[in-house]
Amino acid sequence: DHTGAVIVNSRLVAGEIEKMFGYPRERMHLVRNGIPADFMQGAPDKAEARRQLGLPQDGFVAAFAGTGWKRKGLRFAIAAMRLADIPGARLVVAGRGKPPADRSPDTVFLGPVGDVRPLLSAADVFILPTVYDPFSNACLEALAAGLPVITTAANGCAEVLREGISGSVVPRANDVQSLANALRYWSIGQRASGAAGECRAVLAECSLEQNVTRTLEILEA
């Protein structure tokens, strides 16, 4: 009751605070996470990025990036890629973790990477079937790279996606069938590359400049 205002980065988080603590919504301020507008500046183009990562120039590539693979839902992404059965497709994983013993050839593990931009440049879509994420910055970076994002309703970043236009949102992380359907959807023709403009448009709402400006306005008020 003594807290004058609370800043949240998603409506998902606002709902949780209201439910758990009874804090009034009217005293919560939504400020989305933000990344620099020039985040992808200097990144390699798709052909060069695939060459650097040892990936074939043709074929559908879904990127996954993050640590804490259990919470981020990597096992569901792997299962969905298998179920989607897209000829020549690859799931490319960046981050720290132990690859599963039964991994298939369609999943490539890069290990920890210092710069995620080559992976994003090489990919056609980004998949993060997270069990829970207040607002995934990894998804925001993928959108900045022009990639449609496949994620779950338990990710605050899902709130800025337009279904079938800049991404796909499934109800639950373990809904492997819906994840596979989304992968198939974005693998058709030029659908993924044609969504790049809509994906990058999200930065108008999620820029670092907007984040800082809005946060300062709230603190000064």
Global confidence as pTM: 0.95
Banded pLDDT at 1 (limits 50, 70, 90): low
Sign of CA dihedral 40, 41, 45, 48: negative
Banded pLDDT at 120 (limits 50, 70, 90): very high
Each residue of 39-68: pLDDT tens digit?
999 999 999 999 999 999 999 999 999 989
Q: How far apart are CA 213 and CA 221, in angstroms?
A: 12
The radius of gyration of the chain from alpha carbons, rounded to an integer in Å, stands at 18
Residue type, 191: R
Q: What is each CA distance from 40 to 44, 55, 60, 220, in whole angstroms? A: 9, 20, 21, 32
91 - beta bridge partners?
A: 62, 107
Q: What is the DSSP string of 156-204?
A: GGGGG--BTTTEEEESSTT-HHHHHHHHHHHHSTTHHHHTHHHHHGGGG
Tokens 């988080």 found at: 13
Helix (H, G, I), strand (E, B) or coil at 102: coil
Q: Where are the alpha helices (DSSP H) in 32-175?
A: 46-53, 69-72, 74-84, 117-122, 137-144
213 contacts 37 by C-beta, under 8 angstroms: no
CA 218 to chain centre: 27
Residue type, 62: A
Q: Average of pLDDT values for 198-204?
A: 92
**How much of the chain, in percent, has pLDDT values that exceed 90?**
88
